[in-house]
A and B are shown apart, each in its own frame.
Chain A
Amino acid sequence: MNPRACRICPSLLLGSIFACITLIFCNGALAAPADQPPPSDAEHWRSILEQADSPGHQKAIACKYLAVYGSAQAVDPLARLLSDPQLASWARIALEAMPYEEAGAALRKAAGELEGRELVGVIQSLGVRRDEQAVDLLTRHLAGDDAEAAAAAAVALGQIAAPAALDALEAALNDQRPEVRNAAAEGLIVGAEQQLAIQDRRRATRYYDAVRQADVPATRIAEATRGAILARQAKGLSLLLEQLQQSDEDRFAMALTTARELGGTETAAALSDQLAAQPPHRRAMLLFALADLDDSTVMPRIVKHLADDDSRVQFAAVRAAAALGDEGVVDPLLRLAAGGDKQIAAAALQALEDLPGKAIDEALLERLDKSDATTRQAILRLAGKRRIHATEQLAEAAGDEQAEVRAAALAALGAVVGPAELSILIERVVDPQYAGDAAPAAKALGDAASRMPDQQAAARAVIEAMEGQDLATRTALLEVLGKIGGPTALEALQRAGLAGEPELEDVVTRVLGAWMNADAAPALLQIAQSANEQKYRVRALRGYLRIARQFKLPVDRRIAMAKQAIEHAERTEEKLLALEVLARSPSDEALQVLTTAAEDPDLSQAANEAAKAVREKL
């Protein structure tokens, strides 16, 4: 065998540069793709198999293509490989996929002649093909001396699922060999599933029950029990309950999985009946299952467990209440949300956020004035998350005596106010009732202003509010403008960045450095040239380069930006970043800039590497 490798790219022949299937196979010569026959040339691939001296790797790839394109004429040469330990698996790839009766016949013939792993392989293929003509043959293997073949036959018979196949498997549940019994059980379960699929519940139940009575591993018993419950439908509930009452945790767990599949009000009721008698960890598991069952008739029982002594159960009850509850769970959940267990409180808050409907909104607002500070805070947080449009109540709460409540109210206002109410938040930024409220108010204003339908109008309102304010307020409002975005905000930020005040340079370079489109580039370049402090000039230039690097821009603009950056950079670090931009911009112009840059000793190595990258792309 020649040690050189051949890369075959048949897709090039198919005319698609994307569908390139790379196959690395040994070959006598490094053949160009164009020299290869197309994958669909079944006759070519068949002839490779017919030639006794074709090397193994060629036969292997031939099998792969014949799996897709081979005709019935390819069956005989493929079948001859089934006894070859090295090529049998390749031949099966083709024979198993072929829709022809000839392929089935070849596999059956081989199953009568082969032994060992090759035999197991063809038995598996017969099972995958669901070859009913193989039932007698497989039944013989099931009873044969080769336990591995017998086990494979058992699974294959289950896949075929013909009545005779399943009868044979039922009998094999009494086989002396544990591994064969185990495989027979698996086959029978697979076969029973197929009976269920064709609505023959009686037969399915018979097979599941047969496995349940057999001397097979607990895993098979559990699988059969699941099937037996589902096959019986509503009548399976008693068997389900039997499992739930077992001390064996695996059977309990399987019962819960099965209950979820069975579904229905009766199942939910049966599970909820178990809540009182089970230990805490099982109560929690039952509650999770009830949540998944999505049947609200059991809510009264779930609510009781919101006050369960065991936090595991409480947590599960909260999740169930979130899934199934209505306004009736608002009070118990609010109590938990304000309680001392942080994890339960978080879960309760989440549940209150998830509960759907206006009735929940109303129930929460009703309780706002009547609650303690912790609960008020929770309700306000929920008002924001649920977007309850109750501006008046929220604004009133923003004047609460407790700072945390005020902050929660401001955040909620940020989530709900409309354009006409933006002034409520602006006022609290420029003239806060309490000094500490300015920051949360500014955050809320940013949240609100940035989602206004007319962003320019929102920006103008903020800009107007900046007039005559102290530095701290202007800084906060510039951050808000950053959140709003758009040309009006950008213009104001640019003006502020060029005003010569370091505090403003700081905030503006930060904000523009994260601008979400390329419009900020000119402003950043201007600030990079004129900011008072070098650190802000550097930051501005880096923001400028970020735009060149990350946004989709015409190549010539990208190159122009890199060129400008090199020109104005005060440090080598930024010049190197500009070279990276050029490296990603394959053009002659980029090469020219890089050639010039290479004359700088600090840049020469990076510039040459970038130029190399550009040339490769060109």
Chain B
Amino acid sequence: MTATTRRKFLGRFATGTAALGAPLLIPASALGRDGHTAPSERIVVGGIGIGRRGTYDLSCFLPEKDVQFVAVCDVKQKQRQAVKSMVDKHYGNSDCQVYRDLREIVARDDLDAMLIATGPNWHAAATAVALRAGKDVYCEKPCTKNVAESLALADLVRRTGRVFQAGTQRRNLPHFAFACELAATGRLGKLHTMHAHPAGMTAKTSGWANPEDAPPREVVDWDLYLGPAAWRPFNKAHLDGFNFEKGGGLVGGGVLEWGSHCVDLCQLANNADQQAAVEFHPPEDRRIEARYANGVKLIIREDGWLPLGSCPVRFEGDAGWVEAGDSGKLVVSSPELIAGQEVAEIGGYPATFHVRDFLDCVKSRSKPRAHADAMCASHITCHAANIALFLNRSVRYDNQTQQFIGDEEANRLRSEAKRAPWRV
């Protein structure tokens, strides 16, 4: 977690993408993609749980000339039909196949990759099903519900040798990447403090709502909807996948909502893609303070940001600072820091580049920017912050033992049993 060289910082990413300007990705001509891609060179993609966010993700996949999206799986009939219509309309045919059970879609031999955009409850478990079936995975964030799940998912990606991209697309946006580069390469001097926006410090557990008559399984498969979550009776209020069992256990949710973006960028800026923060304190003045092994402070705070849009981050070194947000703009302590550079200003946090990065890595077998280890470390930092929040006391995490130090209750919050037969 010491400052790295620019080449090493950029080289860490699959295609050595430029942090400045529009990301430089593998061109259309590379790896068989020239706008007239032979069917044998197309990446055949299927989707699981393509709802509101997933539809946006899908809209980033469909225009890619080397993608053939062929199947969708959803426990909700209405949703799977809606996605089929969208895909069929795009291709001008009626070929998109629909599935209710994710085990059936991943059993298809012709699928190379899966887009997983279920609610957070299913992200890790569905990813695990796909990885075990030999598929590469683009998974929406937050990818995991607790510390143990983060570790298990990273292990599984490594074991299966598949390409995994977490849906933390800001890593592939030029201004955020440049801000991280300034910090990671020592241009800000010795990095000492990083700031991340959590978008809330309230964790939610969906609980057990009043029983209602369940629709037929073909309309909504409630058992599959629950998946790895503990059983509870059907209630349509739970069907909002975005919020259902977001945290999973007693913690989760909370700082993970935007933390999985903003804390993740801090990890990148601190060259900490393999290491979570090690010390976490409960909130004071709407700020949670954490610390990395190299002494760099992480402040997760709700307010006091420059007006640069949502999901802001700020990195401070002893020679300067940078702040960036979703407007696509960044502000630096001195223009000297951006002299000679043209940092493309791309607002609105599009996932286009991130999806392309994933597709390129499916072909090159490199690690995409939001690879599994990076996801694991940044999610653990968020989960650990939530545990400090829940226990309302300081906790310390050991990256070697993957345990909290001398805190049984914190360790008991590391994981949560999954309803059988689901697992990561």
Contacts and interface: CB of A to CB of B under 8 A. Distances in A.
Contacts of B28: 343
A356 B4 CA distance: 12
Interface string A6-22: 00000100111011111
Nearest to B162: A257
A435 interface: no
A5 B210 contact: yes
B201 interface: yes
Interface string A155-191: 1000000000000000000000000000000100110
Given A284-B364, A288-B14, A386-B340, A60 B230 contact: yes
Assign chain B's interface to a size class: 35 or more
B160 A319 contact: no
A257 B162 CA distance: 8
B205 A22 contact: yes
A479 interface: no
A258 B230 contact: no
B338 to A, nearest CB: 8
Contacts of A385: 340-341
B283 A117 contact: no
Given A18-B201, A69-B409, A385-B340, A60 B232 contact: yes
Interface in A308-342: 311-312, 315-316, 319, 322-323, 341
Nearest to A3: B210
Contacts of A128: 148, 415, 417
Given A289-B365, A291-B11, A23 B209 contact: no
Contact of B251 (A21, A281, A412): A21
A464 B11 CA distance: 46
Given A69-B409, A356-B7, A281 B31 contact: yes
A152 B30 contact: no
Contacts of B41: 281
B67 interface: no
B5 A356 contact: yes
Contacts of B120: none
A451 B30 contact: no
A244 interface: no
* Most B CB within 10 A of own CB, among A56, A155, A257: A257
A471 interface: no
A387 B337 CA distance: 11
Contact of A121 (B16, B367, B419): B419
Given A20-B202, A90-B230, A356-B7, A258 B283 contact: no
B27 A387 contact: no
A366 B341 CA distance: 23
A14 B207 CA distance: 20
Contacts of A284: 30-31, 364
B365 A24 contact: no
B340 A347 contact: no
B11 A93 contact: no
Contacts of A60: 207-208, 230, 232
Interface string A82-94: 0001111110110
Interface stretch (A216-224, A501-509, A585-593): A216-224
Contacts of B232: 57, 60, 86
A193 interface: yes
B417 A516 contact: no
A550 B308 CA distance: 9
Contact of A223 (B26, B159, B423): B159
Contacts of A379: none
A285 interface: yes
Contact of A97 (B201, B204, B416): B416
A99 B408 contact: yes
Contacts of B133: 219
A138 B385 CA distance: 37
B389 A24 contact: no
Contacts of B335: 447, 450-451, 483
Interface in B403-424: 408-409, 411-421, 423
A437 interface: no
A416 B340 contact: yes
A430 interface: no
B307 A356 contact: no
A87 B208 CA distance: 11
A531 interface: no
Interface string B288-310: 00000000000000001001000
Chain A, interface size: which category?
Answer: 35 or more
A97 B412 contact: yes
Contact of A16 (B365, B389, B408): B389
Given A89-B230, A315-B26, A550 B307 contact: yes
A285 B340 contact: no
A258 B365 CA distance: 10
B233 to A, nearest CB: 8
B132 interface: yes
A351 B10 CA distance: 10
A606 interface: no
B202 A18 contact: yes
A92 B229 CA distance: 12
Interface stretch (A248-256, A575-583, A609-617): A248-256
User: Among the interface residues A152, A350, A551, which one has the most CB atoms of the partner chain B within 10 A?
Assistant: A350
Contacts of B202: 18, 20-22
A354 to B, nearest CB: 5
Looking at chain B's contact residues, the main secondary structure is loop
Given A1-B210, A311-B30, A19 B282 contact: yes
Interface in B27-53: 27-32, 41
Given A19-B282, A64-B249, A97-B415, A315 B27 contact: yes
Contacts of B211: 1
B366 interface: yes
Given A60-B230, A250-B134, A92 B31 contact: no
Nearest to B134: A219
Contacts of A226: 159, 161
A118 B419 CA distance: 9
B15 interface: yes
Nearest to A226: B161
Interface in A271-314: 281, 284-285, 288-289, 291-292, 294, 311-312
Contacts of A155: 423
B2 interface: no
A57 B392 CA distance: 26
A89 B421 contact: no
A95 B7 CA distance: 49
A22 B7 CA distance: 46
B407 to A, nearest CB: 11
Contacts of A257: 161, 365
B394 interface: no
A217 B229 CA distance: 29
A347 B24 contact: yes
Contacts of A239: none
Given A67-B412, A257-B365, A258-B161, A21 B420 contact: no
B346 interface: no
A461 B421 CA distance: 73
Contacts of A453: 334, 336
Contact of A23 (B32, B205, B251): B205
B403 to A, nearest CB: 11
Contacts of B10: 322, 354
A250 B204 CA distance: 41
12 contacts: A18-B389, A19-B201, A85-B231, A96-B416, A128-B148, A189-B159, A193-B155, A219-B160, A285-B364, A346-B24, A347-B24, A451-B334
Given A26-B209, A121-B421, A256-B365, 9 more contacts: A11-B390, A56-B208, A67-B416, A93-B417, A312-B32, A343-B27, A350-B16, A350-B18, A386-B340
Interface of B: 5-7, 10-11, 14-16, 18, 24, 26-32, 41, 132-134, 148, 155, 158-161, 201-211, 229-232, 249-251, 282-283, 286, 304, 307, 331, 334-336, 338-341, 363-367, 389-390, 392, 408-409, 411-421, 423
